[in-house]
Amino acid sequence: MSAPHAVILAGGKGTRLRPFTITLPKPLVPIGDESSVLEIVIRQLAHQGFGSATLAIGHFGELIEAYVGDGSKWGMAIDYAREDEPLGTMGPVVQVADRLPEHFLVLNGDTLTEMDYAGMLADHAASGAPITVATARREARIEFGVLDVEEGRVTGFREKPAIPYTVAIGAYALSRSTLQAYPAGTALGFDQLMRDLIAAGDAPRSHDFDGFWLDIGRPEDYDRANVEFAEIRARLLPQG
């Protein structure tokens, strides 16, 4: 069996993370004065046995290509998919689908997590699902008393309840056949792909994850990543 392959989405403009992204693409912002978030992701993939990856690049793509090169310094073979205009989350994957294996991983290039990517991909391949979405559980705390009202009467009351919800955390395992209906070069968002699959009765699969993950898309989250990096480094970059 060949080594697994990943597609890393690194083409966004990072507008929420300004001013850090005025001169750098978001995946190259430094974490912990040691490396970029993109390098951390690549090193994790290499550690978990991934042999190759495709970087989907657009904004400041030449800087990413100069930084990463062919991936040999991390023991990986890396190639590129270039966007002349934004294609959404899944559009860049469709663009290179003909050179991808049947089962592969798709990752946001700005997310830090200790997830077992190889395990998730293996579970997906065995499941028969069209796509497996890494998910985490969160809750939103309502800062008011919440009333249940029926026909003008209060039938229930909860004081500042916590409402649970599930989020996608930026890691997906896909099968190439899932994308065959979409023409290359057209925009395709993750949201549209999910709606299309659900409407077709081909339900996506959830891969629940309860470990560390952090999207560095906002300045406050980027600051948190740098503050906590010394503590979480060993979990993100295991040795051996």
How many independent structural domains does the chain possess? 1
Task: Give percent of the chain with pLDDT exceeding 70.
Answer: 92
Note the pLDDT tens digit of each residue in 130-181.
Answer: 999 999 999 889 999 999 999 999 999 999 999 899 999 999 999 999 999 9
Assigned domain for 151 exists = no
Within-domain flag for 153: no
Tens of pLDDT, residue by residue over 8-65, are 998 765 455 555 555 667 788 788 777 788 998 999 999 999 999 999 988 778 888 8
155 in a structural domain: no
- In 57-139, alpha helices (H): 61-68, 91-95, 117-127
pLDDT in tens, 70-82: 999 999 999 998 8
CA distances from 4 to 62, 85, 95, 145 (A): 26, 28, 19, 50
Asked if the structure places residue 203 within a domain, the reply is yes
Q: Write out pLDDT tens, residues 209-232.
A: 998 888 777 777 777 877 778 788
| Residue 171 covered by a domain | yes
Higher pLDDT, 230 or 113: 113
Which residue, among 93, 86, 95, 82, has the nearest Cα to 15 in the 3D structure?
86
CA 134/CA 64 separation, integer angstroms: 25
Q: How many residues does the chain have?
A: 240
Question: CA 200 from chain center: how many Å?
Answer: 24
For 34, 172, 179, 206, the CA distances from 235, given in Å and listed in that order, are 15, 21, 33, 23
The CATH number of the domain holding residue 200 is 3.90.550.10
Whether 167 contacts 207, CB under 8 Å: no
Question: What is the pTM assigned to this prediction?
Answer: 0.86
Domain membership flag for residue 157: no
The pLDDT, as a whole number, for residue 145 is: 92
| Residues forming a β-bridge with 106 | 7, 172
Q: What is the pLDDT of residue 23?
A: 60
- Domain of 116, in residue numbers: 5-136+166-236
Sheet strands (E) in 114-198 = 131-141, 145-150, 153-159, 162-175
Domain-embedded: residue 161: no
- Does some domain include residue 142? no
